[in-house]
Amino acid sequence: MKRGQAWLLAAVIVFGVWLGISGCSALARRIGRLPVTWPEMTGTVRSDVSTDVAVEDATLLQVDIRSGNVKVVPAPPDERVVTVLALVQAFSKSAHDALLPQVTRGAGRIRVSTPTSLLALLPGPVSASYEISAPPYLELRVSVTNGQVTVTGWQAPVGVSSVNGALRLQVPEAPRVAGRTTNGSIAAHLGGLVPGEHSLSTTNGSISLTLEAGVALAVDARTVSGKVALAGTGWTVEESGAAALRASRGEAEARLTLRAVNGSITVKAD
C-alpha cells in the first residue's frame, strides 16, 4: 500500500470513530431526556382474590403459573365450577398485579394463568399461592416455573411439572399420571392406575412413592446418584441393585417409570 493510500485510510478510520462517538453521545442525551418508568415502590400490597368460572362443555383444566405454589383439589360433587383463590403479596402494585391469575374458557378448555412478566420475579417481599377447586373428572395439566404443585383426589388424567419446586400427588384413581420437576422432590400416594404408561421424574431431588393396598403395578425405578429402596409385601422383583429396580405386584398392566439424577427413590406399598 502506498503512503498516500495509507494516510487516506487512516483519515477514514478516524472520521468513522469520531462520527460513532458523536452519534452515541447525541443518542445518550436524547435518551436521558426520555421519561423512564420504574415499578412504583408503594409498600407491600396484599390481596385475596377469588374467581368462579362455569365448566359447561370444558374437558380440560390447564394451569400455567409463573411464580407461586399451586394446589388443586376436587370440587364438591354437585358443583360444576372452577374456583380459583389467589393469595398474593408483593412489594409494589405492578408486581402484585403481575401475580394475579387470569381465568379464561374456550375450545373445551379452562385455563388459569398469570401474565408473563418479569415483575413477578423481581427481588423483594413477593409471594403467591393459588388454590384451585374443580370437578375431578377434568383432565388436569399444571405447569409452574417457580413453586410447588399439590394435587389431591383427582380421577382424570394428571400431568404436572415444575422447574423449581416439589410435586405432591395424592391420586386415588387416575387414567394417567405424569409428573416432572427439575429442582425438587416428588411425593406420590397413588391408588388404582389404569393399564398404560405412567411416569415420575426429577433431576435434583428424591422420589417417594406409596401405593394403596391391592394396587397392581409394575415399577421401573432408576437413579444416577442415589439409592433405590423397596418396601412392602407382594412384590415380584425382576431386577434389584443399589440404583436400579424392576418389580411388580399382582396382575400388573399399569407401568410406572421413576427416574432421578441426583436423589434417592423409595417405593413402598401399604
Specify the pLDDT at position 164: 95
pLDDT at 38 over 50: no
Specify the pLDDT at position 40: 43
- The answer to which of 69-73, 79-83, 92-96, 253-257 has the lowest mean pLDDT is 92-96
Largest CA distance in the chain: 94
Distances in Å between the Cα of 134 and the Cα atoms of 116, 139, 166, 209, 259 are: 24, 10, 22, 25, 30
Q: Which residues does residue 206 pair with via DSSP β-bridges, in sequence order? A: none
CB atoms within 10 A of CB 14: 10
Residue range 169-213, pLDDT digits in tens: 999 877 899 999 999 999 999 987 888 899 999 999 999 999 888
What 3-state DSSP class applies to 48?
Answer: strand
Q: From its phi and psi, is residue 73 left (phi > 0), alpha (psi between -120 and 50) or beta?
A: beta
Yes or no: say if 135 and 79 are a contact pair by the CB < 8 Å rule.
yes
Specify the pLDDT at position 10: 57
Residue 34 — pLDDT band, cuts 50, 70, 90? Answer: very low
Specify the pLDDT at position 20: 52
Yes or no: say if 131 and 51 are a contact pair by the CB < 8 Å rule.
no
Terminal CA-to-CA distance of the chain, rounded, Å?
88
Mean pLDDT of 252-266: 94
Torsion, Cα 75 77 80 82, to 10 degrees, reads 0
Residue range 94-151, pLDDT digits in tens: 777 878 899 999 889 999 998 765 554 554 557 889 999 999 999 999 999 999 999 9
pLDDT at 90 over 90: no
Backbone angles phi, psi at 27, to 5 degrees: -65, -40
What 3-state DSSP class applies to 32?
Answer: helix
pLDDT at 92 over 60: yes
Gap between the Cα atoms of 132 and 63, Å rounded = 9
pLDDT at 14 over 50: yes
Residue 246 — pLDDT band, cuts 50, 70, 90? Answer: very high
Block residue for cell numbers 374458557 = 105
For residues 3 and 52, which has the higher predicted lDDT (pLDDT)? 52
Specify the pLDDT at position 25: 47
Strand arrangement, sheet containing 186-193: 45-54, 81-90, 127-134, 69-74, 149-152, 167-174, 186-193, 207-211, 265-269, 228-231
Gap between the Cα atoms of 224 and 207, Å rounded = 13
Closest by Cα among 254, 248, 222 to 235: 248
Mean pLDDT score across all residues of the chain? 83
Specify the pLDDT at position 2: 54
For residues 196 and 90, which has the higher predicted lDDT (pLDDT)? 196
- The answer to which of 8-17, 72-81, 184-193 has the lowest mean pLDDT is 8-17
Specify the pLDDT at position 260: 97
What 3-state DSSP class applies to 178?
Answer: strand
Yes or no: say if 201 and 179 are a contact pair by the CB < 8 Å rule.
yes
Domain ranges across the chain: 1-36, 39-144, 148-270
Gap between the Cα atoms of 127 and 15, Å rounded = 54
